[in-house]
Amino acid sequence: MHLHLLLLLALCSVSPAAAARSFSLLGGWTICNKNGSLELPGRVPGCVHSALFQSGLIQDPYYRFNDLNYRWISLDNWTYRKKFKIPFDISKWQKVNLIFEGVDTVAKVLFNNVTIGKTDNMFKRYNFDITSVVRDVNSIELSFQSPVLYAAQQSKAHTEYEVPPNCPPRVQKGECHVNFIRKEQCSFSWDWGPSFPTQGIWKDVRIEAYNTCHLDDITFSPAYDNSTQQWTLEIQASLDIASSDPVHGQVIVAIPKLQIEHTYNIELQPWERIVELLVNINKNVTVETWWPHGHGNQTGYNTTVLFKLDGGLSIKKSAKVYFRTVELIEEPIEGSPGLSFYFKINGFPIFLKGSNWIPADSFQDRVTSDLLWLLLQSAVDANMNTLRVWGGGIYERDEFYEICDKLGIMVWQDFMFACALYPTEDNFMDSVREEVAYQIRRLKSHPSIIVWSGNNENEAALMTNWYGIDPRVLHTYIDDYVALYVKNIREVVLTNDKTRPFIVSSPTNGAESIAEGWVAANPYDTHFGDVHFYDYINDCWNWKLFPKARFASEYGYQSWPSFSTLEKVSSEEDWSYESKFSHHRQHHEDGNKAMLFQAAIHFTLPQSRDPLQRFKDTIYLTQVMQAQCVKTETEFYRRSRSEVVEGEGHTMGALYWQLNDIWQAPSWASLEYGGKWKMLHYFARHFFAPLLPVGFENEDVFFIYGVSDLHQDCKVMLTVRVHAWRSLEPLCSHRTERFVMKAGEAVLLYEEPVPKLLRRCGPCTRQSCVVSFYLSTDSKPVSSANHHFLSSLRSAEGLRKAHITAVISQQGDTFVFDLETSDVAPFVWLDVGSIPGRFSDNGFLMTEKTRTVLFYPWKPTNTSELEQSFHVTSLTDIS
């Protein structure tokens, strides 16, 4: 088997001698609506909504009910115009191109009043030859069509049979037929996001002029051959030849730290576009590999590719080379039917820990570099190593993947198809083919991307009949599914990228789905592939509820974001759980009721007579519920990695839904809009830790498993303590002998019948006591303290209202919170309102009188500000 190396294409530069000029068209444009009643300045990259807001013509689109109030914006047809002078003599260039990196979405493009082309795919790069129409002074115009009206027209024109779903559920307050337009699918609404079908130029736009030839892009496909134990690097350069004569020259490839400098003679014919070079890497040179976060370094090598061509033309590309191999292992498991489903990186099996990424804003021009860094660093800070870029959003910008490369975040990359069936007309299929080929060329050099996935949930939607399709015509839709994802997208992937695996859908049965004709009768089979699992009705503290699957790529529970986050987009009349605003913001059917139902299983719901306090208490309790539910489920998946029980197990991935929010609303996210950590995210920092003790019960017996993601065995001890709710002193403490935690395994460390445990640590009952436990080497903890509730906290006995104080001091750029409590306090929540930053820990069980927590600010602040904003809540404050 060939393993593969990947490379990040870093900043590319053209040497001063290069015969090419580039002129940016970013910045100020003029925007007007169809009837001319509105004309305003707009920025590119940007969209109409942002331009209207920046001109003061509308409020923040996220404020209160503005997603409905501003629906008219998406239904109008808008035009972008710009006049400009090119600052160099255009007549001296053989070829001049107008390049759009991203147009959103359906537009006619005019240059100097000449129609030069059309756009209809948000995810494609458009390159228009303007050599014959360009002048020194030019005008450019993009006439957009409403994406909502366009999608409706395309659906209406598809007369042969229906392509469901027609419209989203009413609770989402969205637009219809989004599957008929190649645009961000969630921009028409989703169950966690608003409907803002944007129009605009959302990425770079520029003019490029050149003579002889131009390097459009360059890709790198290195591979490792096990038989020869040697790396090779295939470099593929895509060029546009402007000359009518052959072009001669040399290409020099240099990787200094690998002692490589190779020179190749080339001859380019006018009709040729692709140059392929093969670099053999010396077997005697040590190559350091790129590793995911928590498994090693993200070592890279500076590389240059220099083209020296006829007439002194010189083009230089700089890149950072990252070496890593990836394999998706689907093979038989002893004692279990079906096949495994896990990833090996550099030959090492890795448990994928993380979440699912959605667009960080409905308006991409509001997503800054700082925000991307904040969200992705927060993932790493919570011990995540993987994010799934979900198929209903966008292919993220280059910087997103560059940050993932640097931080060691593996990316499961969906293609942008989600929760729908899709048309398969020739023009649609051609557009998708170009989209996929472009995105692969753009992204495949990133080591962070480890797998391509064809779509989100469309195999499951088809085979479990979400849309009530008549079984007699099901074959038509299966044929369409295979045509789009297998014969089209898969073929493009296999042609353009042999360096990483491709799966057709998520969830999928992988190899079994293929064997069943690319669609499995039961796509949720726990013996194959990955699963998505949601259950809001049954008790989430009961681990027997969860599927002992090979890989859990979606699961989760909703909660509300902090009051400080909601306050920015609401008014006083909105601040209750039963308000019109609270119902409006919830886009999941019965979502608000489901949260209270789940919370009420184990907690007493807030009863304060003060409506605002009751709202804040309810927000807090939904976050407690969400954190505890996802903790229980994730710990179940992590402890299932090494065992097979009744034919199920060997779970090797846990990606909860979802990491981030697109706006301020209830959702499954652990990071609120803007990046504030919910309680779940603090919990994730513990349940994704590299060494983790997991406690659970089965048939009245208490078990503790030890889970290790480490590459080496380690010697540790386990300490188990029992605390009474009424006392800050533990009733008893038991420490095991030192034992070996095996690398990359989950093993049983401790078991004891609960009645025996309670007698040994008496006087104790399930209602009056709680268990905590941690791993240590000698006296030094090597894991966080975990805990196990022996009963619902609504029936806890001896739990008293805790009085918690904090003394805040500053140490350098960090702030120290010295806490003191009068009593045991569950789910202690420290909040500093809108001051950006995060704590070292939060939402914790406080069983000792004092505790020190650090606060890491994201913007400058001071002790006085923090003291004024600080508020602490624990479970006993909820009444």
Is residue 548 a contact partner of residue 335, using CB atoms and an 8 Å limit?
Answer: no
Distance, in Å, from the CA atom of 81 to the CA atom of 91, rounded to the nearest integer, reads 24
Q: Strands 552-555 and 531-533, how do they pair?
A: parallel
Catalytically annotated residue among 457, 512, 643, 672: 457
Residues whose CB falls within 8 Å of the CB of residue 821, separated by 6 or more in sequence, listed in order? 728, 802, 803, 804, 828, 846, 849, 850, 851
Instruction: Please indicate whether residue 554 is annotated as part of the active site.
Output: yes
Distance, in Å, from the CA atom of 108 to the CA atom of 200, rounded to the nearest integer, reads 12
Tell me the β-bridge partners of 813: none
The beta strand positions in 335-459, using DSSP E, are: 342-345, 348-350, 352-357, 386-389, 410-414, 449-453
Catalytically annotated residue among 554, 635, 643, 648: 554
Q: Which two tokens stand for residue 257?
A: 């730290």
Q: Strands 780-781 and 769-777, how do they pair?
A: antiparallel
Q: How far is CA 146 from CA 31, 153, 185, 816, in A?
A: 14, 11, 15, 52
- Residue 799: what residue type? L
Q: Which two tokens stand for residue 221?
A: 């496909």
Tell me the β-bridge partners of 14: none
Distance, in Å, from the CA atom of 232 to the CA atom of 303, rounded to the nearest integer, reads 14
Is residue 246 a contact partner of residue 267, using CB atoms and an 8 Å limit?
Answer: yes
Q: How many residues does the chain have?
A: 879
Q: Which of 416, 398, 372, 412 is nearest to 292 (CA)?
A: 412
Is residue 225 a contact partner of residue 622, using CB atoms and an 8 Å limit?
Answer: no
Distance, in Å, from the CA atom of 22 to the CA atom of 6, rounded to the nearest integer, reads 29
Q: Which of 400, 361, 393, 364 is nearest to 47 (CA)?
A: 364
Tell me the β-bridge partners of 354: 386, 655
Does an H or E element contain 752, and which? strand 746-753
- Which of the residues are catalytic? 457, 554
